Structure 1
Amino acid sequence: MLHQSSVGGLALEFEKILPRDRVFADPLRRLAYGTDASFYRLTPQVVVVAEEEADILAILATCRRLKAPVTFRAAGTSLSGQAVTDSVLAVLGEGFATFAYDAATQVARLGPSLVGGEANRRLAPLGRKIGPDPASIATAKIGGIAANNSSGMCCGVGQNSYHTLAGLRLVLADGVALDTGDPVSVAAFRRSHAGLLEGLAALSAEVKADDVTAARIKEKFRLKNTTGYAINALVDFDDPIDILAHLMIGSEGTLGFLSRVDYRTVPEYKDKASALVVFADLASACRAVSALKSAPVEAVELLDRASLESVKHKKGMPVDVDSLGPQAAALLIESRAADADTLRAQLATIAATIDLSTTLNGVNFTSDPVESGRLWDIRKGTFPAVGGKRPPGTTVIIEDVAFPVARLADATADLQALLHAHGYREAIIFGHALEGNLHFVFAQGFESETEIARYAAFMEAVAELVVGKYDGSLKAEHGTGRNMAPFVEREWGAVATAAMRRIKALLDPENLLNPGVLLNDDSKIHLKNLKPMPATSPLVDSCIECGFCEPQCPSKGLTLSPRQRITAAREMRRLRCDDPDAPQLAEMQKAYDYAGDATCAGCSLCSTVCPLEIDTGTFIRTLRAGRRGGVAHSVAGALAGHFALTLKATRAGLAAGDLATRVLGGAAVQKASAAAHRALGLPRLSPAMPRAEWPGSAPAPDTAGLAPVLFFPSCASRAMGPAPGDDSPPLQQVAAQVFARAGYRLVLPDGLDELCCGQPFASKGFPDIAKAKAEELANSLSSEGAAIPLVFDTSPCATRMQAFAGPRFRPVDLVQFLRDEIAPKLALKPLPETIAVHVTCSLRKAGLASALIDVASACADKVIAPPGVTCCGFAGDKGFSQPELNDHALRHLNESLPDDCREGYSSSRTCEIGLAAHSGRRYRSILHLVDAASSPR
């Protein structure tokens, strides 16, 4: 471990080869960037971000010179401690998120920082996907998927990274690159590394000549197995280039760096069906698994009785779980086919394979995507059920093992008994039964020696059960990591383990690449460097730092992600309790004020993908509220109490900005504003800054006799009109026109300019003031129109007011009202245009993303929702106060839109400002699109 002074010196060495903004040595970011999904904690001495292979070569050269070990990190979803280090952590940047596809060979060439789910999204229109399908595929990146040989629910053994590898590009510890798909590169490598290749060839020959070892390797890899290195390469291949390439799969960054992974893609069938079949006992379920091995099934997931209990209230559960016996179990079965007729035939075969007399609910497949999705939600809900109920201060441990399928029933029963014997009575068992792969989940604390000893004894017992009794795999798909490194020889024996050590010595003789992972001489390493999980806030205490939230976060890569915010908050809480005078505490807190708080959009999209629905945005807002008081609170109260004046002042400011732009020119104003923002922290004006929207008497359509609709325009749309150069009519006027065409009369609340839903105050950390404004609005709306539809023009306002509605009124989002009530009553003629839409965070959280797409698709020939854009990062006024957040969140927007796309639409005026500025296109309310495409029916 280096001292703090050495940490700074190490950072200076990397600043010589990388931009300073990609080298992190401060306590906050070393901690935050160093966390992963495992239950281990090692804090790197320096974090460096690599964007291209040249960076990797420079990093490796520096590490060799300084004798500093290095660990490569992709998404950090690893569960076994293989992505943490107390030395140099090299995090892969977006430059490595490359994608290419060769239609002739059906090979996808993927960069290591490309998310697996994104690779599949791009392959889907071609009817293809990558073979590995880990549960973390929406977050996990190709580098980690390959480096851990991850598999998943439908992947099995035959479609994992090892078996679908078409080639790769790698960089060895000595800084030499090899592209196995490039004959020139291969030829050069054969010359430069003849000794290495000869060593691999000799080892392969020795293993093949040892009939016992060779046979054991072949037998072991018929199961899912990620314990140790992929030494099946030694018996599967003769050419040492092929051996080397396949040894890299599952090597967990200990043998080299993967610059690119080439996958032979597999079919992605659209026709699929699922069934959750419940059995009276575990033995019957496991016998069905054995029978299904030869059936046309894509996945067979086992859930034990405890798993079923944990999700018994989930919608779609086909049986009454409370009525089941203690030995009940279920299989979630999925079948896929190239067409519907083939699928029907497959389902008949599957049904005939299962002994119906052993089931409690028959075999009833559904091909309805919604119903099938519910069944899979039941399966996916098992892990959160344990995680959400664990005691504060504990973590959730997910282990995975594999048994021979023929012995699965006995093995599962033994595993259940083992968990109970060691006091893990809340544990559940589920898994990919078709491969004999079981996951068991339990809560574990590490705050006392007693708890650590309990865990140590349990792991010893697991090793004896899996290896000693069943000769199974101690790690089936989660990688060896630190957690199972001490048990590699237990599973493989001395000869095979010695071969693994020779491989490591050949490829990394200085032991610089992720040392201590996969192979480790310390028999207690799995009990060291355990991650503290102190209770911090009920809002986030259930977080296990899995990282599933990160792809949704607009600030990830700029400052911190939700996982990193929670990690840092926990550590600062620990320091305040255990070492309040720690010098790094004040430094961390100061850095957190910006990285953790100021640049958090508070959009809460993290909760939509979190298995436990943790809302880090709400957590950050509570931290803001804890610091807001005194003068700030008084000012906020005054603004809220005189809201009409606040709106007038906002309009006056916008008018002044518009005047300055017309007099001085937009470029000059932008330059001056940017300089003032940098020097004084003043708000930075947007290039798409709107003009003031003054209340006026716009011509109203004839609405006599039409049904009334109470319409609430947000304070943003009341104050902010179109951008300069945009001659669009005021939004209220457009709403009145569109509603009248559909047979509705627009009614505005009385005293409109004093009303606000409170969202601006809530996001700033004034929850009491925000609540008071929301209740004021609720009272006004209740008295105005309790019996008529109430439509909010802005999605965030509609979402917020849902919590204050009750029986008094039902707030409806404009997008939902347009789809369900307005569009069916209009004649819509799609415009011959390509348009963009932005689904706001509120629409996503409300489940209305498809509603916006539906409305837009009815009004334009082609609709694009840029896949790389989640929250726009404007976040109320952060587009002005922290414009770097908006810049970062929309950095890929422009490149995602084709040249013929000139218009964009959304349902939040502030979001539209940022979208317009970063795309160079006009963004307006979706109402404008409906207006342009509609006529009375």
Structure 2
Amino acid sequence: MSLKFVESDIANLPEVYRNFYHVIITFIPKERVFVDPIRTLAYGADASFYSMLPKLVVKVKSPEEMANILKEANKVNIPVTFRAAGTSLSGQSITDSVLLVATEGWHKYSIGPGGESIALEPGIIGAEANAYLKSYSRKIGPDPATINNAMIGGIAANNASGMCCGTADNSYKTVASMKLIFADGSMLDTGDAASREEFRKTHPSIIQDIEKIRDEITADEELTKLIKHKYKIKNTTGYGLNSFVDYFDPFDIMNHLMIGSEGTLAFITEITYKTVVDHEYKASALMIFKDMNTTCLAVMKLDRDLVAAAEMMDRASLRSVEDEAGMPAYLKTLSPDAASLLVEVRAESKAALDELIEGVKARLADIPTVLPIEFTDVKAEYEVLWHIRKGIFPAVGGMRKPGTSVIIEDVAFPKEKMAEAVPELRNIMDKYHYEDGIIYGHALDGNVHFVVTQTFKTQEEIERYQSLIQDVCNMVVNEYGGSLKAEHGTGRNMAPFVEMEWGQTAYRFMRKLKNVFDKDNTLNPDVIITDNQLLYIQNLKPMAQAHEIIDKCIECGFCEINCPSKNLTATPRQRIVVQREIARLRQTGEDNTRLRRLEEDYAYFGDETCATDGLCSTTCPVGINTGEHTKHYRANLMGDRGKSIGRFITQNFAGVTTMARLGLTSAGLAHSILGTSLMGGLTQGLHSLSGHKVPLWNPCMPGAGKTPDPSQSKKGVAGRKVVYFPSCVSRTMGGASAVDKDKRQLSQVMIQLMEKAGYEVIFPREMDKLCCGMPFESKGLFESADKMSSELEKELLVVSNNGEYPIVCDTSPCIYRMRKMMDKKLKMFEPLEFIHDYLLELLNFNKEQETIAVHVTCSSTKLGLKEKFKKVAEACATTVVMPEKVRCCGFAGDKGFEVPELNESALAELKDCLPADCSAGYSNSRTCEMGLSHRSGLSYQSIVYLVDRCTTAK
């Protein structure tokens, strides 16, 4: 199943785009070229407060494809914009023309000797790059706050920096070489002598123009002085003219010009970074000062030779997080004028760390503090302090009024002027009634962020923001000689003000640069260089209220990394973008045809391919679980008819599960008679003919399960009792599949393991009638889900002696719901957690010489069980592989049968992540294990099988 292809979508394109479409689908599969309303809308939004609707969206997967697309676009003068993760805040990755998405397929990397360099393609997430370098105790220099979500392409193209890298370790300072594709489709590897020589021959005018600009800039003493001065602090406004001052060779100049060029000069297909040391020893202190002026005076005493980071936060910033769990109690006691500095020091030894701490205290000895300065080198403690800083922006986003946008601006002042500049910035914010706005930033670099929220629904509101920006720009540039964009890139937000900051002479060279590399202005036009002085208040993103669950979304895109459907249909952010547009169209009634099309296409794009796993909430700054919204969407679709079906199933639950067992038994029998090939072909045909209503069989489908016989329970060690609730999933499909290594029933192994540890196993009564409600909840049948959950809760309270005995359920998603819904007196565990917390000390573990794979399910991830999984697995096997890129498996209960392409897409990288000697895989959810087995070619079973095999009774 997929989104339907509508010929009129192409026919409605302007002729030049229509022709372009037909040309590029000769070398790009049309499945990766989007012209339909729902996907162009979904990809047209990034993390900024702007939005535009692309005419075409193309998923590009290789340098060759990118070169050919640029060549064809250049022929007909069609503008293109490059995009990776879309976490940029200034509108750099949106367009109303052609959007080229470079995420899938751009994951290659190579590490130089000793980890001192690393070559990265643009689709690699920053944190992934650091994970590759971890064993070398090194990392890439840039450390933006978005490093867990932003991709290398955007980090380099925007010269994103962060809290610690400053101006010394950012992309500009640490780039070694690049592979580039220019507007005409030509390629250059700046790190390869042969490539440089070839480019010099084929593009002599570019080399000559670069050399001419270099000579003109360096001959202008006043301009050279200005450039050197402006890059003493963070600056990403305009093009990097410091390239002409810092370097002489034209290829070195090009190498550095591309940093921060925001896709307006060329496309970066690979960047090689010189890496930096990742210090082992760290300590942090949250310093509280009486006011912002005193805080800024403290900043002036510090430098990067002494401290790695110094994060400034005003009182409003601290107030936004002071009520969160785990925050220091003293935050609530601070005066209205108080401000803070979060300082971190790093070193390669404990002695050196202690020396730095004393150095900081000595430097600040004459600056009065509200509380004594206390550093901590305990990881758990300093992580709490950094959670304060990292929680500020999300807190503002979560507290804002529904329908408003979150705007984060990004300026820098000379450090010695911060004590005057920051209070004046606050005065300007108050002048235009942004009293609730907050100020914080990377103080060592003079980098100040200010965050405000507002709607753009009226002209009055737009003009209020316009006045704010004009006053801020005037103050930053004309009063303090600062930067209008310190680390977020110029974008559409500050393009109209580049000349204001740099002056006519410097801006004239920037225009020349754009013309050198992109004379037809087809690469991301209006970003950095523009003639439109009102660009920053145009194409403002509407934020229609759609549903209380998703109205808090700030569209940052942090959720996307976890989503199993991200490469198939939609991400959580994209689902929300579409729902907001549907809500807007319903409210305005302006385009009913478009509304109906979006609603129709959303069925597959947003609903059917949503796994509702909730992992999106784990990286969402405001904790939104888009899967919960999908469940409500499903509930509305089903209405009263769905509720009736749910009631019938709950009333006849034992019979329904019996029928399911019979179905699995019949499928197993058919498979044994027909064989895998014929069985697969037959069920594929039925699946297609039924409109995907008939579940799709696969060779890893398990046999029928059994309900344990309570009468067979054995007495355990005195006082050692456990309640075992076999989930309806394991009771129905707990039997072996054709690929399972261990053919025993899951419940049999669970009981054997617990009895081996001396436990008397107690069972709920009438188990076949019991269910946690999870299957009903996933379908949006909340009434039925809660009824089943309530009945199970009552029974568990009885058999656990009102919570005295621990309760184990063999399926992790079930335990997740049970913990969420049931009486907190009940001590409930999924099997891995019970093994870790109760059985590690009661059993002898015999480690086997083998390599195994472990998959931590979504539920276990949300329960924080990853490290426990690792510990138990490593007690059983010499080598444990936990693929970082494999998150949700996408099987999602019955989705693996109904929408198998979701499971296939989610696990597309699984095989490549597993070493050749991997013998088996383990998890803790039967349905997930089916999908994992099918996509990996390995046998995946519950980790209970592994532990039972590797342990003996003490």
Cα distance in 2 between the residues matched to 1:418 and 1:580: 38
Within the candidate set 313, 317, 323, 1:313 is matched to 323
Cα distance in 2 between the residues matched to 1:568 and 1:8: 24
Equivalent residue, structure 1, for 2:12? 4
Gapped regions of structure 2 (runs ≥ 5):
1-8
Within the candidate set 358, 370, 390, 1:360 is matched to 370
Displacement of 1:869 = 0.7
Displacement of 1:811 = 2.2
Q: 1:791-832, CA deviations, whole angstroms, 9 ceiling, x for partnerless residues?
A: 222111111012332255232232222111121222222222
Displacement of 1:630 = 4.5
Q: Equivalent residue of 2:341, what SS? A: strand
The one-letter amino acid of 2:823's match is G
Equivalent residue, structure 1, for 2:773? 758
Within the candidate set 916, 924, 932, 2:941 is matched to 924
Is 1:839 matched up with 2:856? yes
Is 1:688 matched up with 2:700? yes
Q: 1:129-170, CA deviations, whole angstroms, 9 ceiling, x for partnerless residues?
A: 110011111111111111100000111001111110100011
Q: Equivalent residue of 2:75, what SS? A: helix
Q: Equivalent residue of 2:172, what SS? A: coil
Displacement of 1:631 = 4.0
The one-letter amino acid of 1:816's match is E
Q: 1:415-441, CA deviations, whole angstroms, 9 ceiling, x for partnerless residues?
A: 111111111011111110010101111
Equivalent residue, structure 2, for 1:718? 731
Equivalent residue, structure 2, for 1:896? 913
CA contact (8 A) 2:805 2:827 kept: no
Is 1:172 matched up with 2:173? no
Equivalent residue, structure 2, for 1:730? 745
Q: Equivalent residue of 1:569, what SS? A: helix
Cα distance in 2 between the residues matched to 1:105 and 1:793: 43
Equivalent residue, structure 1, for 2:6? none
Equivalent residue, structure 2, for 1:404? 414
Q: Equivalent residue of 1:47, what SS? A: strand
Is 1:794 matched up with 2:811? yes
Superposition map of 1:206-355 within 5 A: 206-293=216-303, 295-318=305-328, 320-355=330-365
Cα distance in 2 between the residues matched to 1:453 and 1:695: 68
* Further displaced range: 795-804 or 395-404: 795-804
Equivalent residue, structure 2, for 1:884? 901
Equivalent residue, structure 2, for 1:395? 405
Displacement of 1:850 = 1.6
Cα distance in 2 between the residues matched to 1:737 and 1:706: 18
Superposition map of 1:82-93 within 5 A: 82-93=92-103
Equivalent residue, structure 2, for 1:471? 481
Is 1:72 matched up with 2:86? no
Equivalent residue, structure 1, for 2:4? none
Cα distance in 2 between the residues matched to 1:438 and 1:845: 34
**TM-score scaled by length of structure 2:** 0.96
CA contact (8 A) 1:225 1:476 kept: yes
Is 1:426 matched up with 2:436? yes
Within the candidate set 60, 64, 72, 1:54 is matched to 64
The one-letter amino acid of 1:576's match is R
Displacement of 1:449 = 0.2
CA contact (8 A) 2:717 2:758 kept: no
Cα distance in 1 between the residues matched to 2:167 and 2:625: 36
Displacement of 1:10 = 4.5
Equivalent residue, structure 1, for 2:760? 745
CA contact (8 A) 1:295 1:353 kept: no
Displacement of 1:921 = 1.2
Gapped regions of structure 1 (runs ≥ 5):
none
The one-letter amino acid of 2:762's match is V
Cα distance in 2 between the residues matched to 1:351 and 1:842: 45
Q: Equivalent residue of 1:931, what SS? A: helix
Cα distance in 2 between the residues matched to 1:449 and 1:408: 33
CA contact (8 A) 2:115 2:275 kept: no
Cα distance in 1 between the residues matched to 2:825 and 2:208: 80
CA contact (8 A) 2:851 2:880 kept: yes
CA contact (8 A) 2:833 2:868 kept: yes
Matched residue count: 937
Cα distance in 2 between the residues matched to 1:5 and 1:150: 35
Cα distance in 2 between the residues matched to 1:314 and 1:344: 31
C-alpha distance 294-801 of structure 1, shift in aligned 2 (>3 A)? closer
Q: Equivalent residue of 2:558, what SS? A: coil
Displacement of 1:322 = 3.1
CA contact (8 A) 1:386 1:426 kept: no
Equivalent residue, structure 2, for 1:915? 932
Cα distance in 2 between the residues matched to 1:701 and 1:857: 30
Displacement of 1:392 = 1.4
CA contact (8 A) 1:714 1:797 kept: yes
* Further displaced range: 165-174 or 360-369: 360-369
Is 1:615 matched up with 2:630? no
Within the candidate set 498, 505, 525, 1:515 is matched to 525
Q: Equivalent residue of 1:96, what SS? A: coil
Is 1:386 matched up with 2:396? yes
The one-letter amino acid of 2:724's match is F
Displacement of 1:2 = 11
Cα distance in 1 between the residues matched to 2:149 and 2:114: 29
Within the candidate set 655, 662, 676, 2:665 is matched to 655
CA contact (8 A) 2:699 2:738 kept: no
CA contact (8 A) 1:101 1:108 kept: yes
Equivalent residue, structure 2, for 1:592? 602
Cα distance in 2 between the residues matched to 1:807 and 1:125: 42
Q: 1:829-879, CA deviations, whole angstroms, 9 ceiling, x for partnerless residues?
A: 222221111111111111222222222122222211111111110101101
CA contact (8 A) 2:42 2:577 kept: yes
Superposition map of 1:639-678 within 5 A: 639-678=649-688
Within the candidate set 868, 874, 877, 1:857 is matched to 874
Cα distance in 2 between the residues matched to 1:883 and 1:523: 50
* Further displaced range: 729-738 or 110-119: 729-738
Displacement of 1:915 = 0.8
Across the aligned residues of Structure 1 and Structure 2, the Cα RMSD in angstroms comes to 1.7
The one-letter amino acid of 1:844's match is T
CA contact (8 A) 1:686 1:914 kept: no
Cα distance in 1 between the residues matched to 2:304 and 2:827: 53
Superposition map of 1:595-606 within 5 A: 595-606=605-616
Cα distance in 1 between the residues matched to 2:621 and 2:823: 28
Displacement of 1:901 = 1.4
Displacement of 1:701 = 5.2
* Further displaced range: 801-810 or 292-301: 801-810
Within the candidate set 108, 127, 133, 1:123 is matched to 133
C-alpha distance 654-109 of structure 1, shift in aligned 2 (>3 A)? same
Cα distance in 2 between the residues matched to 1:220 and 1:823: 60
CA contact (8 A) 2:707 2:767 kept: no
Displacement of 1:3 = 8.8
C-alpha distance 807-86 of structure 1, shift in aligned 2 (>3 A)? closer
Q: 1:176-222, CA deviations, whole angstroms, 9 ceiling, x for partnerless residues?
A: 11101111100011111111111111111111111000100010011
Is 1:781 matched up with 2:796? yes
The one-letter amino acid of 1:719's match is T
* Further displaced range: 425-434 or 351-360: 351-360
Equivalent residue, structure 1, for 2:579? 569
Equivalent residue, structure 2, for 1:96? 106
Cα distance in 2 between the residues matched to 1:792 and 1:499: 68
CA contact (8 A) 1:111 1:142 kept: yes
Equivalent residue, structure 2, for 1:457? 467
Cα distance in 2 between the residues matched to 1:739 and 1:353: 60
Equivalent residue, structure 2, for 1:415? 425
Cα distance in 2 between the residues matched to 1:318 and 1:355: 24
* Further displaced range: 58-67 or 473-482: 58-67
Cα distance in 2 between the residues matched to 1:294 and 1:628: 60
Identical aligned residues as a percent: 45
Cα distance in 2 between the residues matched to 1:137 and 1:37: 14
Q: 1:390-434, CA deviations, whole angstroms, 9 ceiling, x for partnerless residues?
A: 111111000110001111121111111111111101111111001
The one-letter amino acid of 1:224's match is K
The one-letter amino acid of 2:753's match is V
